[in-house]
Structure 1
Amino acid sequence: MKLFKEFKEFAVKGNMMDMAIGIIIGAAFNQVIDVLVKKVLLPPLSLLTDGVHFNDKRIILRDAVLSADNTILKNEVAIGYGAFAEAFLDFLIVGFAVFIAVKFMNRLRKKSQDTKDTSIATPKDIELLSKLTDLMEEQNTLLKSKK
């Protein structure tokens, strides 16, 4: 029963919902990046390499062995460095996109935490902390003037 209660607290506090939202958005973002790399960036790159797709690039260690009726007796053994290059390009693009998104969010957060900037609404907790700081400074100046 205690385990169920802990799970309920975990789910109600929002941790589970935050994780679910993050996973769903991450999966959608992965699809966007996958299409961007495979359908937008790689075709011009394969044009530069005379129409060869990166995914087809590999070093063959052993050719496939076929029987007389063209059934495969032994599969080909190859190092798919083209698939690795494509995955690495995916990684770089995802990393850069996440960097840009985080940089943008940090800029918005910094603007929203600036109590003097009225173009963006300051969150209530920052506003209250700012007022508290102002009141403490005012109190300190009053106490110093009484001495």
Structure 2
Amino acid sequence: MLKEFKEFIARGNVIDLAVGVIIGAAFTSIVKSLTTNLINPLIGLFIGKIDLSGLQFTVGSAHFKYGSFLDACINFIIIAFVVFLLTKSLNRFMKKDPDAEPAPTNEEVYLEQIRDLLKDQQK
């Protein structure tokens, strides 16, 4: 069981996933700082409040903090946009040559060999 676990951890996919999670967490903190320190003050110029997380309304004894929700939405939009840009640029770099034909599968190679043998037998 320990050997299987070592093989599982040593696989590239698991390591790539771990690196992605770590980088994603670091990137999330950068975006949160961007939102809190740059975007919210810019929005605050228009609505009169710099700290959106303090926006709330109260019904009875319940407090609905819609400002924190707005912060989370702004963070999500920024992260989604950056992921979109990264994916788009990676796809551009990984783009296959449109003129290159895909390599034939083993089945196609065998079928071509059979076809050639049948042609030779008919001659």
Q: Shorter-chain TM-score category?
A: 0.7 to 0.9
What is the number of residues matched between the two proteins?
112
RMSD of aligned C-alpha atoms? 2.8
Paired letter, 2:33: V
Question: What corresponds to 1:126 in structure 2?
Answer: none
Query: Cα deviations across residues 90-147 of structure 1 (Å, max 9, x unaligned)?
Result: 111111111111111111100xx32879xxxxxxxxxxx65x69xx7xx89xx5x987
- Provide the C-alpha distance between the structure 1 equivalents of 2:60 and 2:19, rounded to a whole number of angstroms: 46
More helix by share: 2
2:41/2:50 contact within 8 Å kept = no
- Provide the C-alpha distance between the structure 1 equivalents of 2:67 and 2:23, rounded to a whole number of angstroms: 28
Percent identical across equivalent pairs?
A: 32
Question: What corresponds to 1:61 in structure 2?
Answer: 59
Question: What corresponds to 2:12 in structure 1?
Answer: 14
- Structure 2, unaligned runs of 5 or more: none
Q: Would you say 1:43 and 2:10 are equivalent positions? A: no
Measured after TM superposition, the shift of residue 52 of structure 1 is 4.5
TM-score w.r.t. structure 1 length?
0.63
TM-score w.r.t. structure 2 length?
0.74
Measured after TM superposition, the shift of residue 49 of structure 1 is 0.8
| SS of structure 2 residue aligned to 1:78 | strand
Measured after TM superposition, the shift of residue 51 of structure 1 is 3.1
